[in-house]
Amino acid sequence: MRYIILDTETTGLLARGGDRLLEFAGLEMIDRKLTGRNLHLRIHPQRDIPEEASRIHGITLDDLEGAPVFAAVASEIADFIRDATLIIHNAPFDMGFLDMEFQAAGLPTATSLVAEVIDTLKLAKLQFPGKRNNLDALCDRLGVNRSNRVYHGALIDCELLGEVYFAMTRGQENLLMALDSGTAQDSDPLTLRLGSDPRQPRVVRYAQAEELAAHTAYLDDLDKQIKGTCVWRTVPSTGEDGV
């Protein structure tokens, strides 16, 4: 599955209130491995950049002299994100700006181009309810080195978000990845079989008491690793087998 870890920087907070996008960054990831294929663009916003915004991301209008306007790079961004699953921290913000800019350029919205959007802020709130869950706080909580983050630059934020996402989901995809690589045996009646959509597993038969106990112990270990509640504990049970 193809993912894009994505971040943007803007002139302000209001995508529909006159603010514009001025930096885009995306890192490609396939099967939880960064491929080295990235897209990083600085974009002239065709308006001023308020001082309070520059204090956050460190970008001034002088820095963008000669940079392309969004319409000139819209197709390049569209091709990069098309059919991918996006991983974004506070996704409604970035997607709101991307959708606005794509529409202004006469193109379909970014939302309509991608397969799915994963909001790591929502994921963090599930794992760490009642705690600060901005990117800095998550880096500190999960042991991600953010010493090079002087400003909120789109590229460095993508790099940090990638490490945060890996840390928050550590171990939770190992079962699916092992099955996909052929580790599981079809002849085993306890095998968790995957259909064409790996996000919708089905269990061949109900789990036994010892298996449920082992599963609980595994989740307890995950909770200790992330110092919170792992995602699997947030999925409601839909049947007698706990799936």
What residues are annotated to the active site?
152
Distances (CA, A) of 204 to 2, 118, 199, 213: 28, 29, 16, 18
The distance of Cα 81 from the centroid of its chain, to the nearest Å, equals 13
- Can you tell me the distance from the alpha carbon of 63 to that of 186, in angstroms, rounded to the nearest whole number? 58
Paired with 86 in beta bridges are 4, 117
Paired with 21 in beta bridges are 10
Residues present in the chain in total: 243
Secondary structure of the chain: what % helix, strand, coil (to 5)? 40, 20, 40
Are the C-beta atoms of 53 and 12 separated by less than 8 Å? yes
- Can you tell me the distance from the alpha carbon of 14 to that of 50, in angstroms, rounded to the nearest whole number? 13
> What's at 211, amino acid-wise?
E
- Can you tell me the distance from the alpha carbon of 78 to that of 81, in angstroms, rounded to the nearest whole number? 5
Q: Which two tokens stand for residue 25?
A: 């960054």
